[in-house]
Structure 1
Amino acid sequence: MRVITGIAKGKKLETLEGMDVRPTTDRVKEGMFSAIQFDLENSLVLDLFAGSGQLGIEALSRGACSAVFVDNSKKSLDIVKNNLTKTDFMDKSLLFNMNSMDFLKITDKKFDIIFLDPPYNKGILLEILPMLTNKLNFNGKIICEHEKNLVLPEKIENLRLKKTYKYGKINVSMYLFDGEDE
C-alpha cells in the first residue's frame, strides 16, 4: 500500500494484518480521488473508520490542509500515527481513538470531505450517514466505500446521492448537498 500522488507520492504505508482488514486497493483509491481531485486543495478532511489512515493521508498529500482520523482500534491508530510520521503529516492531523458515532455526537467540526469505509455487512453506513448531515460544509462531499450489494438511499435529509462507482465487489458512493449542481 502506498501514497499514489502528491507531495508524499510513493511512500509506503503500513496496514494491520488479519482477516478483518480490508485496505482500499490502489484502483479504488485512484477512482475516489479522481472524482474529488479539484476539491482537495485546502480542504478539511475526516477519515472516519480510519484503519491505516491511507485515505486521509492521500488527501493530505494532494493538498488538503488538515485531516481528522477516527478509529476505535488503538492498534489502527498506532498504524495511522506511524504512517503520518513517515509522510510528515502529523502536524496537519488530529487522531481520535473512539467509536465513530460517539465522535460525531461530540464534535462541532465541519468538514469539506468525509471518507467512510466502515466494516461491511453490519448496517453501519446506513446508520451513520444521517449523522453527517450537519458535519459537512456547503459544497462538501461524502465518499462511502461499501460492499456491492448495499443499496444506499438517493436522499438523506439534505444530502443526495450523486453517483455510485463500481469496482468488482466494491462500490464507492458519493453524497453532496441536495440542490448542488455538480
Structure 2
Amino acid sequence: MRIITGSARGTRLKAPAGDGTRPTADRTREAIFSMLGARVYDARVLDLFAGTGALALEALSRGAAHAVLVDAATHAILAENARRTKLAAQSDIRRGDVYGQVAALARDGRTFDLVFADPPYAHGDNARVLAALDAGALLAADGLLVLEQGAGEEIIERSGSLSLVRERRYGAARICFYAQEVQE
C-alpha cells in the first residue's frame, strides 16, 4: 500500500500485522480521489477508523490543509506513516474510541470539509457513524462524508440532515458519499 500522488507520491505505508485492519485498496482510493477532484485542496479532513491513515494521508499529499486521524488501535502506525510521508505537521493523530473523539471534536466546535469513515464491515457501525456526525454537526455546510462499507451491507439513504448523494461498488467494498441537505 502506498500514497498514489501528490507530495508523498510512492511512499509505502506501514500496515498492522494480522487481519484486524482492512486498508482501503489502492484502486478504490484512487477512484475515491478521482471523484473528489479539486474538493481535496485546502480541505480540513477527518479520518475515522483511520487504520493505516491512507485516506487522510492521501488527502494531505494532494493538498488538504490539515487532517485529524482517529483510531483506537493503530496510533503508533498512524504516527509512523505520518512521519514516512513527511505529513506529520499537518496531522493530528488521536487514539481512542471513535465516538468519544467525535463528541470531543463537536464540543470544540470543529467542522470538516471531508470526513472519511471506514468502520469494520458488518458490525452495524454505519448508522452509528452517520448519527454521530450529524449530531455533532462536524460536516461543514458544503462538506462531504465518504463512508466505506461492505458491498452486501444495507445502504442508508438518509440520517438526520445527511443524505446519500452517490455510491459506487469496488469489489467487496461500497463507497457511499453523503452531504448535508440544503435547508430552504
Deviation of 1:169 after TM superposition, in Å, equals: 1.3
Q: Aligned to 2:175, which of 156, 169, 172?
A: 172
Q: Which residue of 2 aligns with 1:50?
A: 50
Equivalent-residue separation in structure 1 for 2:156 and 2:24 (angstroms): 23
Partner of 2:88: 90
Q: Deviations over 1:64-121 (max 9, x none)?
A: 0000011111xx1111111111111111111111100011112131100000001111
- Structure 1: distance between partners of 2:69 and 2:6: 19
| Inter-partner Cα distance in structure 2 for 1:153 and 1:19 | 26
Contact 1:47 1:115 (8 Å CA) reproduced: yes
With normalisation by structure 1, the TM-score equals 0.94
What letter corresponds to residue 5 of structure 1 in structure 2? Answer: T
2:35 is aligned to: 35
**Residue matched to 2:129:** 128
Q: Please say if 1:99 is aligned against 2:102.
A: no
Alpha-carbon offset, residue 9 of structure 1: 0.5
Contact 2:116 2:146 in 1 (8 A): yes
Corresponding position of 1:152? 155
- What's 1:119 paired with? 120
Given that 1:48 and 1:117 are in contact with CA atoms closer than 8 Å, whether structure 2 keeps it comes out as: yes
Q: Residue 80 of structure 2 aligns to which amino acid in structure 1?
A: N
Using the TM superposition, give the Cα deviation of residue 138 of structure 1 relative to its aligned residue in structure 2, in angstroms: 1.0
Percent identity for Structure 1 against Structure 2: 34
TM-score for both structures, normalised by structure 2: 0.93
Aligned residue among 72, 79, 82 for 1:81? 79
SS, match of residue 172 in structure 1: strand
Q: How many residues align?
A: 178
The 3-state SS of whatever aligns with 1:13 is coil
Question: What amino acid does structure 1 have at the position aligned with 2:125?
Answer: I
> What is the CA distance between 1:153 and its match in structure 2?
2.0
Q: Please, which moves more after superposition, 4-13 or 17-26?
A: 17-26
Please point out which of 161, 170, 173 is paired with 2:164: 161
Match of 2:143 among 127, 140, 143: 140
- The within-5 A match list for 1:16-35 is 16-35=16-35
- Give, as a single letter, the amino acid of the residue that structure 2 aligns with 1:36: L
Query: How much does 1:37 deviate?
Result: 1.6
CA distance in 2, matches of 1:40, 1:170: 22
Letter in 2 for 1:96: R
Q: CA deviation at 1:29?
A: 0.4
- Give the aligned partner of residue 9 of structure 1: 9
Q: Do the aligned partners of 2:130 and 2:162 also contact (CA within 8 Å) in 1? A: no
Deviations 1:124-169 (A, max 9, x none): 1111211112100011000011101112221211111011101121
